[in-house]
Structure 1
């Protein structure tokens, strides 16, 4: 057994042991003091995608209208400086685990660099022994296949999409647990409907509503778009602000349900966003946007409303790593030391105990295609050091919150000290390595396993249609037999699958599929074509279009326990135009 297989096995044992320990602890508490056991509050966590700090009228944006979110903020504890990661998957990993994303295995947003290791314990898993039923509605972006999907990471219900983004927001297809379903309507409205249905059914719930907007593609119903076009905005900003107002309307619907049902009195509500804005627009004068290390790229709204506390503004900074320990503190749940939580409970600040609050460092790392030590940043309450390619900058955030004056030359000792902290942190966070976990197949409860192009490696001349290989992309440019694509797999139990290839071709072809020592040769004269699924884009998209892909059954493969590769290549001299979207494995009965 290799090292990675041992790690995975140990991870499964650890999670099982943790669940047993937590369950026994709960039973002991109930047995000792059953009559006095308090009813723990429900949790609704609302997370939006690519909405910046400035995309709220609560933050003095004079163009966008967000009365429902503003009203929630005015009833909530508001953190003046709340930090996340520069892009979405890393923020989600830290939010869910209370740990810096690099330590969880999540380093970026595609090519499996978004996948969180299965041994990580999420909020949903921490709450499960205490009677909570957890549901995730919307974007996941921590791994597509079980056990790296929401069901494998503790959620009892998943209604949404596992990728970084979808290609269409109207009448789209989603995953409900392990089944693909067709939806009707504008996606944020559909997700809100399902979240309300979930909260209606549960006595003790953790509902995570992870909106897909205002992330691209830029699509929104006419009424929202027309309203902001009439204010003189260009098509993109009119669509973004329309998306934000739609989010606000759905927040209003959620609050209406909680008040009408009476659950508002026993529900913790969090509203936050995952990174800075996806474009240059009002952001409170801060430097930077999404994917930047600067304040504008990582400082976001964070409002938390819970019984017994009214509105207040907290000045000391908080971050995504603090959400899990704060919730645990609010619910009087002890976190096992073995989880190695990097965040800190914010409850002392909320209780007005800021006088005893020690400042700390918040670390940021960003990847562009390949993992490196930079770009990175470290900040505390007063200073921010950014480390970029051949460029360092130090700012005093008290005196210069908009980062106008680089004081690196005048304060070299402070910069050197901060950089030492950053490098020590990065070394600690990467001690398990940064290689993504393998795709797992063979789980008895999973009937279908999808292997998308973005999860594969490509050899030779093969390219991505959309160049970068974002979610939903596909392979092109097969020129000769040495051009191939491959998926690295771990089979947990011997399983036989029917293998389908999602692909298109304009000439007859001969294809070789290799896995587990078996070669399948598939040859056909039939032509297969994709069909464009119409969209409602307001501006030209940068991502690929959504297509209806032919599914070609190429044969059966018995996968045996252990590690393997599934490879696809083509045989011959003239291939024509071949496009491969991915592979689908369907379990044989």
Structure 2
């Protein structure tokens, strides 16, 4: 089912890259005689760095993403804080400004000039062989070597669990993963036979109206169709051992069907499948790679409280006692849009999503300890773009691009610990994984990422000289002294403001240091190789 070795000879998208800041991974993390470390990569959804207290921002997101300084709206994250300080976290890590191009950046190690995913619903176009019509290019067509293929060629068993954001319903075997658990399913926005939690559209007197499938009532003040991915989620399995076909809706057994219902929480389902996968690989002594694209952090229609005006539906209640988490079992009653939460679900809010993510990281660590593989497993935690209502879609300063980035590797000889004053890109994750997995990027296959592993395991003082992001035709780039945003405004980034946003705008370059001017010139020289939205929006070939 995986991409063949012959694929690695495909280099239609490869070009010479003269920048020394874009070298592929070359230094394996382990020798051939050692066991390869397991890797768990958790990619959160729409969570700015400022939502994690480790970044010490004085501002974060409150009701509907409004910026606040209310401590009640900042999540307690004791577990993430501990592993970030025992491991390391990047002060300024960048994704793109929205989901699809950020996921493309992480999975391929490339920017949009190569993978052609410029923005949500703005992809390079190709002619479909079957229909002869133009359609959006699929990510594996422009970038046939991704993190899934990397894991496979490195001897790992792999699973992709959570949000896909790939925009099509077939060809998932081309992403290189052995298994998948997709929440929601691939036939977006159609619902599975097992759930009514969905927002769909219909015409009423010629006017498009959104309605709640569960209650049948129209919805006002909400903007997009969706399948449910939190409560009573829409779930589809890919190549799972329990399934009778390559793609199959879940619940798919008599036991899972009996237990499934309004009290089923999608992030819990994701972790259950991940832990089952880890158990199976561990029992066979096989290294595993988990790509967990959690929905936590993404806004959604609140099917339990349809009248809610907040962005983030409540989660199951979890409590930290200083040593461990306990979870209140959900006891939701009712039907068809009329539900009673019975005190078992939190209030809506970003902070509760971040706290539930912290709870799930604790569950991961407990699982690894139980299997006695905590020192044989590396955790990487990041997010795909800024928080909705603050950063998502924004090309102003680094509001849309600044995301958390944590590496926790207790069994590896990391020389860095805690907060690191460096800049890094989501494109760096693929070559970093190559180093961790003891593998290499295929020769001649161009990437834009640079492995973080040499910085983490040597006495190197810096990682990158610049980072880059994009939003359609808008370019964002920053170094250690200056930053240019998508409005072509320049900002002084030699100091970090206490809200992670209020940088000083540069209006008079005569008052700026010579180092800053030199960096500006360097960044301006870098931009043209990536700023090809107007001239090379579509791929030449696939």
Q: 1:246 to 1:344 in 2, by over 3 A?
A: same
Q: Which residue of 2 aligns with 1:434?
A: 538
The separation in 1 between residues aligned to 2:168 and 2:540, in whole angstroms, is 13
2:248 is the alignment partner of 1:179: yes
CA distance in 2, matches of 1:144, 1:381: 39
- Structure 1: runs of 5 or more not aligned: 1-10, 19-34, 228-234, 281-287, 368-372, 439-589
The aligned runs of 1:213-228 (5 Å cut-off) are 213-217=296-300, 218-221=312-315, 223=317
Aligned to 1:395: 491
With 410-419 and 178-187 compared, the bigger mean Cα shift is at 410-419
Tell me the distance in 1 between the aligned counterparts of 2:274 and 2:537.
Answer: 36
Quote how far apart the aligned CAs of 1:339 are. Answer: 1.6
Is 1:385 the counterpart of 2:446? The answer is no
- C-alpha distance in 1, partners of 2:229/2:376? 36
State the Cα deviation string for residues 142-193 of structure 1 (Å, max 9, x = none). Answer: 232332x3x3210111101456964452112211011122455111111111
1:71: Cα distance to partner? 2.1
TM-score, normalising length from structure 2?
A: 0.64
Q: Which residue of 2 aligns with 1:348?
A: 454
- Structure 1 match to 2:289: 206
For 1:257 and 1:384, how far apart are their aligned partners in 2?
A: 41
Give runs of aligned pairs for residues 22-101 of structure 1, distance below 5 A: 37-60=33-56, 62=71, 63-101=74-112
Q: Which residue of 2 aligns with 1:418?
A: 523
* Native 8 Å contact 2:140 2:174 kept in 1: no
SS in 1 for 2:106: helix
Q: What is aligned with 2:159?
A: 135
What SS does the corresponding residue of 2:268 show, helix, strand or coil?
helix
5 Å-filtered alignment, 1:189-588, equals 189-202=268-281, 203-217=286-300, 218-221=312-315, 223=317, 238-280=348-390, 288=391, 290-306=393-409, 307-309=411-413, 311-355=417-461, 357=462, 359-367=464-472, 373-374=473-474, 376-388=475-487, 392-399=488-495, 401=497, 402-410=501-509, 418-427=523-532, 433-434=537-538
Instruction: Determine the C-alpha separation between the residues in 2 that align with 1:192 and 1:47.
Output: 13
What are the superposed Cα offsets for residues 188-210 of structure 1, whole Å, 9 maximum, x if unpaired?
Answer: 11111111111111121111111
How many Å apart are 1:350 and its aligned residue? 1.1
Per the alignment, in what secondary structure is the counterpart of residue 127 of structure 1?
helix
CA gap 1:321/1:168 in 2 versus in 1, 3 angstroms? closer
- Spell out, residue by residue over 1:435-459, the C-alpha distance to the aligned partner (whole angstroms, 9 max, x if none): 6999xxxxxxxxxxxxxxxxxxxxx
Partner of residue 7 from structure 2, selected from 8, 11, 15? 15
Shift of 1:302: 0.9
Q: Cα gap change, 1:111/1:171 in structure 2, threshold over 3 Å: closer, same or farther?
A: farther
Q: Write the distance in 1 (CA, Å) between the matches of 2:76 and 2:540.
A: 41
Name the CA shift for 1:359/1:437 in 2 (closer, same or farther; >3 Å): closer
Per-residue displacement from partner, 1:249-287 (whole Å, max 9, x unpaired)?
A: 11111111011111211111101111111124xxxxxxx
Return the offset for 1:337. 2.8
Following superposition, the deviation at residue 313 of structure 1 comes to 2.9
Cα distance in structure 1, aligned partners of 2:166 and 2:531: 21
Aligned length: 385
Please say if residues 273 and 301 of structure 1, whose CA atoms lie closer than 8 Å, have aligned partners that are also in contact: yes
Query: Which is strand-richer, 1 or 2?
Result: 1
Contact 2:152-2:176 within 8 A present in 1 as well: yes
Cα deviation, residue 49, structure 1 = 0.3
CA distance in 2, matches of 1:430, 1:259: 51
SS of equivalent residue, structure 1 residue 69: helix
Task: Choose from 209, 212, 230 the match for 1:169.
Answer: 230
Which position in structure 2 is the counterpart of 1:492?
A: none
- Conserved 8 A contact 1:384-1:396: yes
CA contact (8 A) 1:94 1:320 kept: yes
Cα 1:238/1:358, change in 2 over 3 Å: closer
2:154·2:437 contact (CA, 8 Å) conserved in 1?
no
**256-265 or 215-224, larger mean C-alpha shift:** 215-224
Higher gyration radius (CA): 1
* Equivalent residue, structure 2, for 1:511: none
Higher relative contact order (CA 8 A, sep 6+): 2
Q: Residue 430 of structure 1: CA displacement?
A: 7.9
Q: Distance in 2 between matches of 1:36 and 1:418?
A: 39
Q: Deviations over 1:358-384 (max 9, x none)?
A: 7533222103xxxxx32x211112110
1:376-423 deviation line (CA, Å, top 9, x unaligned): 2111121101232xxx31112004654443214425966566344323
Describe the SS at the equivalent of 1:128: helix
Structure 2 gap segments, 5+ residues each: 11-30, 58-70, 124-135, 190-225, 239-246, 252-259, 301-311, 320-327, 329-344
Q: 1:92 to 1:293 in 2, by over 3 A?
A: farther
CA RMSD of aligned residues (A): 3.3
Sort the Cα spacing of 1:386 and 1:263 in 2 relative to 1 into closer, same or farther, 3 A: same
Q: For the Cα contact (< 8 Å) 1:115–1:141, is it kept in 2? A: no
- Which of these residues, 163, 176, 186, is aligned with residue 154 of structure 1? 176
In the TM superposition, residue 59 of structure 1 has moved relative to its aligned partner by: 2.9
